[in-house]
Structure 1
């Protein structure tokens, strides 16, 4: 069974979607190296339609990307949760229509499945107890408003399995969900 990893850039106060508090280069080269390590372990990228369309409109056009993100996103098997998307236009991409298809994906052989951005899909995955691990890049910002990683009423018992602080002030916190914790 594959692990489904939710990776989010998040503020100290738990916000993952609000305004312009985050920029990809804000974390520095050490954060980029941590992302590269994650990309090396993941052979599936799960996202929602809106995030997919935003990524599709930007990353394939990056011809001189020293980060490696463009190369990774152009080659990785992408899965898009959508009831409306018909033609992804960015291969290799598979459209998933419901959470049962995500469960089947998790049951298949392969590396990690990473879900980044896509707050609506992330909330659905959390509610369906499909998340095995959270990798949270915590940025030293407080925005006090915006959509949060965990919606109201969503209680989670997590086990901290790793923490790394970077010179930029960003901290990477890795948590296993208790239900999916291999050590429990």
Structure 2
């Protein structure tokens, strides 16, 4: 069985909805070598990414066209198996993409051998994964920003399993990685 890992960029107050705050630690000229090193290690430990349809279409419209990406994200996304959960998408138009029709199919993929499956963005899907008790690990890149409003990772009413902190890592940019794993399965 593979681990299903939720990786999100998140504000101090728990907002994961993409907004201007995301640019704080990505400012031009900021040394991100330490952050890129960790992202490279995370990519090496996974062979699949999981998206909801909206995030998938946003990623598909951006990453395949990048020609001078030095982070390795372009190569990883173009080569990894991409799973997109959608009831309407017919042709993914991005190589190595498999369309899944629901959470049961996500569970079946998770039960196969392989490296980590990483879900990122895709808040509606992530909420469904949390509700279905499918998330093994959370990798939260906490940005030093308070948004005040927006979609949150742990929405009201979601039952969250007991989590154990397994890593805390600050970066030069002010971002902090918090890694949590389920206490037991």
TM-score band by shorter chain is: over 0.9
Which of 35, 52, 56 lines up with 1:52 in the alignment? 56
Mapped to 2, the partners of 1:153 and 1:108 lie a distance apart of 30
Tell me the equivalent position of 1:158: 163
- What are the Cα deviations for residues 120-155 of structure 1, in whole angstroms up to 9, with x where unaligned? 000000000000000000000000100000110224
Tell me the equivalent position of 2:179: 174
Mapped to 2, the partners of 1:25 and 1:45 lie a distance apart of 22
Tell me the equivalent position of 2:26: 25
- What are the Cα deviations for residues 81-114 of structure 1, in whole angstroms up to 9, with x where unaligned? 1001100000100000011111111110100000
Mapped to 2, the partners of 1:37 and 1:91 lie a distance apart of 23
Tell me the matched-pair count.
180
Q: Secondary structure in 2 aligned to 1:108?
A: coil
Cα pair distance change 1:96/1:176, threshold 3 Å: same
Structure 1 unmatched ranges of 5 or more? none
- What are the Cα deviations for residues 61-84 of structure 1, in whole angstroms up to 9, with x where unaligned? 111211111111111100001001
Q: Does 1:81 align with 2:85?
A: yes
**RMSD value, Cα:** 1.3
Mapped to 1, the partners of 2:149 and 2:130 lie a distance apart of 21
Normalised by the length of structure 1, the TM-score is: 0.94
Quick check: 1:43–1:76 contact (8 Å CA) kept in 2?
A: yes
- What are the Cα deviations for residues 27-54 of structure 1, in whole angstroms up to 9, with x where unaligned? 8221121111100000010001111111
Q: Secondary structure in 2 aligned to 1:72?
A: helix
Cα pair distance change 1:18/1:78, threshold 3 Å: closer
Normalised by the length of structure 2, the TM-score is: 0.93
